[in-house]
Amino acid sequence: MEWIRFLLGVAFIVMGLLVFVIQLIGVYKFKYVLNRMHAAGMGDTLGISLCLIGTMFLFGWSFTSLKIALIAAFLWLASPVSSHLIARLEVTTNDELEKYCKVEKEEEEA
């Protein structure tokens, strides 16, 4: 039983590290800041969560695992919100946004 728990923990940590490598490639491959932020935000959320689940398996079911689960839940809630706010700031402050992507203007009602 210990070996199964150990192998599951290592498998989740390796999957998390692979997600981080893919994220890193995406951050360097994309040219525009919003594309880079998408790759970084999605990779962080999934990669950190997989690594934390792996450490939960390695520690076993204890109070430490509960704290790790709470950290994972907080990251799943906080990371997308912060990425969205930073992306919204980029969209509102970039004067040359049309050069990088298609912008749809909202129609003003009378």
Domain ranges for the chain: 17-91
Asked whether the beta carbons of 26 and 39 are under 8 A apart, the reply is yes
Residues 15-24: pLDDT tens digits? 999 999 998 8
pTM of the entire predicted model:
0.73
62 class by beta-carbon count within 10 Å (0-12 exposed, 13-18 middle, 19+ buried): exposed
Q: Are 54 and 17 in contact (CB under 8 A)?
A: no
- How far is the CA of 50 from the CAs of 7, 16, 45, 110, in angstroms? 14, 5, 9, 50
Output the CA–CA distances (angstroms, integers) from residue 54 to 20, 76, 87, in the order listed.
Answer: 15, 16, 30
Distance CA 94, CA 1 (A): 55
User: 36: which 2 tokens?
Assistant: 């880079």
Per-residue pLDDT tens digits for 29-84: 887 777 788 778 888 888 888 998 899 888 888 888 888 888 888 888 888 888 88
